[in-house]
A and B are shown apart, each in its own frame.
Chain A
């Protein structure tokens, strides 16, 4: 990842946070003064470096912890609603925004709702547990499944 790609990555994340959704290549290109094709080529390199995740149409799918598409992890933080890619990322959104957050999901076993409020870095309950099925060495084999 060279300096130009890091700058592109940072601009993409900044736009995601500012817009409250995944930016298009055109929107990022406009922000950094690069062509849409340039942005797409850079995004592809960043995808290969696991700095973000593209979908099959080369649009932003994940800018971890943010998800560009609805998921089972809804997060309210910094006055906006977000989707996270997983439970880890759900807590990561408040961490990235340096903001309190509220997470809504459902237990994968019983489907009962789980509500977690994060205030000043502390969770409203310590009852839920986090389970990772896939070993770390294989996380990026299929990041959507992980």
Chain B
């Protein structure tokens, strides 16, 4: 889960390997907020898999690649 200067640098780094998924920075910001915003809450409880999947889907991260285990 890496941060690159641009999509061109992702392609160069992959050097022909099959890509995973590329996410624009503004969406990663939203994802980090939704995923981690409650991590230090005193009453934190674990999310279900379905709840985590819903976070991804709400941000447009759907399809087989984003299917949680």
Interface residues of A (CB under 8 A from B): 1, 6, 9-10, 13-14, 17, 49, 51, 64-65, 73, 85-98, 105, 107-110, 112, 114, 116, 118, 121-123, 125-140, 146
Contact = CB atoms under 8 A, between A and B. Distances in A.
B67 A131 contact: no
Contact of B2 (A86, A96, A97): A86
Interface of B: 1-7, 9-10, 12-13, 19-26, 28-29, 31-33, 35-37, 39-40, 42-46, 56, 64-69
B3 A126 contact: no
B44 A135 contact: no
Contacts of A105: 3
A127 B7 CA distance: 9
A107 B46 contact: no
Summarize A's interface: helix, strand, loop or mixed: mixed
B68 A136 contact: yes
A87 to B, nearest CB: 4
Nearest to A46: B46
A49 B46 contact: yes
Contacts of A64: 36, 39
Nearest to B31: A88
Most chain B C-beta atoms within 10 Å of own C-beta, residue among A85, A93, A110, A132? A132
Contacts of A137: 67-69
Contacts of A116: 3, 25
